[in-house]
Amino acid sequence: MNKYHQINMVAAFAAISMFTDVTAQYNIKSATPRFELPVNMRDGEDYISKTIIFKMKPQYRSLCTIEDINYTPLKSVMMQMGVRSFSKIYPNEEPPIRPYNAMGEKLVDLSLMYEYVYTSELSLQQALDKIAALGVFEYVEPHVIPKLLYNVNDPSASSQYHIAKISAPQAWNISKGDTNVVIGIVDTGTEPNHPDLKNNIKHNYADKIDGIDNDADGYIDNFSGWDIGMGDNDPTWQSEPHGVHVSGIAAASTDNSTGIAGVGFKCKFLPVKVSDASGKLTGTYIGIQYAAAHGCKVISCSWGGTGGQYGQDIVNYATINKDALVVAAAGNTGDEALLYPAYYPNALGVAGTTSSDTKAAFSSYNYRVRICAPGASIYSTYSGGSYVSMSGTSMSTPCIAGAAAVVRSYFPGYSALQTAARLCVTADDIYALNSSALKNKLGSGRVNLYRALNDPAMPSISMTTRKMTDGNDDAFVINDTVSVTGIYTNFLAPTNNLTATLSIVAGTGAVTLLTAGPVNLGAIPTLGTGNNNGLPFKIKIKPTSGLNTVVTCKITYSDGIYTSFETFDIVVNVDYLNVYENDISTSITSKGMNGWNNSPPTQGLGFKYNGVNLMYDAGLMIGVPDSAVSDVIRGMTGISDKDFKSRVNIKRITTGALSDFDTDGYMSDSLALKPLWVGIHHKSYAWSTPADRKYIMYKYIIKNNGVSTLNNLFAGIAADWDIQGAGGDSNRTSYDNVNRMGYTYYTKANGYYAGIKLLSYSAPASAYAFDNIDGGTGINPNAGFSNLKKYTGLSTMRTDAGLIKPPGNDVMSLVSTGPIMLPPGDSVEVAFALLAGDNLADLKTSANNAQIKYDLLTAAPDLRSIKEYNLRSYPTPASGTTTIDINLPKAGRVELKLYNMIGQDIATIAAGEFTSGKHQFNLDVSRLNSGVYYYQLIAGDTKIVRKMVVSK
């Protein structure tokens, strides 16, 4: 993928120098989840260009003000990316006084949410990644622009069939709602003077129209709602009268001898306009927050888009902090696509039906739909005081919102979630009227408002906390058994003898259900909980499971006449593992990529040191002359080649493990346009011991499965390190000949270092430092990375990059080994360590420790060098004094050190300039504990590590 960079940084760095450096006060331990932009999202259409929403972690609260965050690394990145605007999204929100409500649900803190608009030419994904890499955020996301969810028909019907279909007239005999229960219509605005709407708008009498913010809520004169999209107090629709229609369905004045009836009858509505002048929905989630903060007990959202944690946070804030029910449209794609906020936990997702209770052709459907309502040809208010019929889940949503408002009026003690539960458990089952393909995908059925008010009390159970584990690494692969336990909350009437049974409704070919229940959850009181910790559901993943298969599980609850269900998904047979064993967290893949499982970078952790991601992308490269290179590095178009095919997916090895986290897998290069016909048995190792906490070891056994000898073969790992600088700016890379390590670093103060070190001895080391921008003398991978250029990089030495644009630029580092002659049927082992550190000395220490560890794992490190130097110690085992012999082939500087098993340097045996020939050193080991030690010789470019046993 092409990478973009801001060129003029002088002013930005001058500004940064004035900031107070508070970085040292904080120790970042956890990374920010990565938001992956779907490939079909369009800049300016599906998300606002160059606009980022992020939420600071609470431990940084003292640095956060309304207009500033006094955190130097963030200021540095933002200055590099350019700042058009930066502000706190909810400046009037205070952090919750306590972390949880009475139900034990975590309250949402909106006071740490900010919106940042940058000016550089970075793509939005790159900008998201650069901000997230700082690790001080709970999440970093784009500002998504949802879409309205309706299909326009010509005005025709003058009747509202949906009123009778949901039994609203019978319900109104019981309750007509309450003017104090307000429905927030978060949409494109309303028509305040419409004869059927004007008397049902909820007015804010605490803020009369006088140019003063009388109620000090941050909004001046918000007497009749607010226009989030345009920032004023006039919620009148612009460009798109969609919201006028939605308003009437939920809350048109009823029994007023005018026009139509709103489902909510007496319930008021608060218009919250969230579209700009062109009709784009630019303020949707702020609209939900506004409605919730201003007392709405039901919030109608007839729109949707891509999901993220920000949207989930706002839904949780409305539901948990403000006890407002968010009702949202399932979508109009006519398939099982997911749309948000409808499918967030705590939201009530609504599908659309027809007058005959069949699913409307336009309506989306899936296992996450919770309820249905009429949405085809719904007659309601429109612009100019008129009425029209429209279709879509946009129309189904306010139907449910109006019903919810009446339920909340009749049952004033109900919470938002209890209201949703009551609507669902009393809905009419319409599955018999629909195709069997829709089974379980229309929620509990079509809403029946009369039953919601009149039916006897029934339970409503939901698994509010779920834990899935394989008892190992929780990466669910073939032959794993996954145990599922949960906490089950009863929102309504007490249960007597509740049972829960698990079944598989999608992905049945991928798993075997070992323990399905029924699990006896017994008697659970209203708002009480039960659990199945003593009897987990168990699912075993079959050897025939497809890669990354989504398995949908259904839990059926039963207690007397009460039955209900809910579903959840498990992704099985994943082809990558996440490693968290030491100071580096990363993902090990099945197809040659390092850090990420896809390109552009998606799925995975990247390469995080102390929670900060240092890597854009990385992967294995194997090549021979004549432009035959198999790899997973970016190609001619900027998108990575995908030449390796997994034959045996990566798995964790526990029996006979050599480290704290061993992995093993096998792949071939059969997907390459010009295959080498090699098979690669790949392994990785991670240790948590102090000396080994800053590297991950990768070992590749490459076998020639072809019929021709592979001459002049090189194999290596290339990594585009983006260390702290936006887009990799201010990065440089160089080469350490002694440690056979290419390393990259951030040139500013306190910058991190990352490296690739060759561990194996099968062939000499080579390294190529790339400048990822034009202007250098070497290869620019971003300007079309052909196989010829890739082999040149593999086989040519270029030690330095990042000197084109002071104080550094975007770079890539490739460390390889070769040339290797590999006859048919033969194999060669190449091994590398990927490392990180606080400075170069720190990185070199870890490189040395990695070499010691690798030499321990291998039977014969560099036998030629050992023979040439005749390095040996005796007697074996040693007890009092041991003698070490060295035969130096030439004069030069020599360093001889002793290390213990965990890589600690415990003695310098010799250091200095030595003549050629034989040298002998005596070492007193009498004070050492019995055990295994290592002595290491560094002489010029040669490094040899040998084992010594001390026994007393």
Identified catalytic residue from 129, 178, 187, 276: 187
Residue 646 near residue 574 (C-beta atoms within 8 A): no
Tell me how far apart the alpha carbons of residues 548 and 479 are, in angstroms, rounded to a whole number.
Answer: 14
Tell me how far apart the alpha carbons of residues 208 and 213 are, in angstroms, rounded to a whole number.
Answer: 9
CA dihedral in degrees (255, 256, 260, 264; nearest 10)? -50
Specify which residues 498 forms β-bridges with.
522
CB atoms within 10 A of CB 866: 18
% helix, strand, coil for the chain, step of 5:
20, 35, 45
CB atoms within 10 A of CB 867: 10
Q: Is the peptide bond before 600 cis (omega within 30 degrees of 0)?
A: yes
Tell me how far apart the alpha carbons of residues 364 and 113 are, in angstroms, rounded to a whole number.
Answer: 32
Tell me how far apart the alpha carbons of residues 518 and 556 are, in angstroms, rounded to a whole number.
Answer: 9
- Look up residue 433 and give its DSSP letter: G
Identified catalytic residue from 302, 394, 640, 684: 394
Residue 715 near residue 820 (C-beta atoms within 8 A): yes
Tell me how far apart the alpha carbons of residues 759 and 91 are, in angstroms, rounded to a whole number.
Answer: 53
Query: Which one-letter amino acid corresponds to residue 100?
Result: Y
Identified catalytic residue from 194, 242, 294, 682: 242
CB atoms within 10 A of CB 299: 33
DSSP-based three-state secondary structure for 442: coil
Tell me if residue 187 is catalytic. Answer: yes
Alpha-carbon torsion 217, 223, 226, 227, what sign?
A: negative
- Look up residue 868 and give its DSSP letter: H
Specify which residues 902 forms β-bridges with.
none
Q: Give the closest residue to 587 by CA, choosing from 657, 684, 659.
A: 684
Residue 710 near residue 790 (C-beta atoms within 8 A): no
Instruction: Write the secondary structure of 669-696 as one string of H (helix), E (strand) and C (coil).
Output: CCCCCCCCCEEEEEEEEECCCHHHCCEE
Q: Give φ, ψ of 648 to 5 degrees.
A: -130, 110
CB atoms within 10 A of CB 652: 18
Tell me how far apart the alpha carbons of residues 782 and 774 are, in angstroms, rounded to a whole number.
Answer: 9
DSSP readout, 538-574?
A: EEEE-TTPPTTEEEEEEEEEEETTEEEEEEEEEEES-
- Tokens 């019995």 sit on residue: 930
**Residue 190, Cβ density class (10 Å: 0-12 exposed, 13-18 middle, ≥19 buried):** buried
Structure tokens at 218: 């941050």
Structure tokens at 10: 């002088």
CB atoms within 10 A of CB 323: 17
Reading phi first (left if > 0) and then psi (alpha if -120 to 50, else beta), residue 351 is in beta
Residue 297 near residue 270 (C-beta atoms within 8 A): no
DSSP-based three-state secondary structure for 935: strand
Tell me how far apart the alpha carbons of residues 741 and 752 are, in angstroms, rounded to a whole number.
Answer: 16
Q: Give φ, ψ of 342 to 5 degrees.
A: -55, -35
Q: Which residues contact residue 861 at a Cβ distance below 8 angstroms, ignoring those fewer than 6 apart?
A: 761, 854, 855, 944, 945
Sheet with 645-653, strands from edge to edge, namely: 645-653, 661-668, 678-686, 695-704, 827-837, 753-758, 741-746, 731-736
Tell me if residue 380 is catalytic. Answer: no
Tell me if residue 242 is catalytic. Answer: yes
- Helices and strands of the chain, counted as H and E runs: 14, 51
Q: Would you name the residues annotated as active-site residues?
A: 187, 242, 394
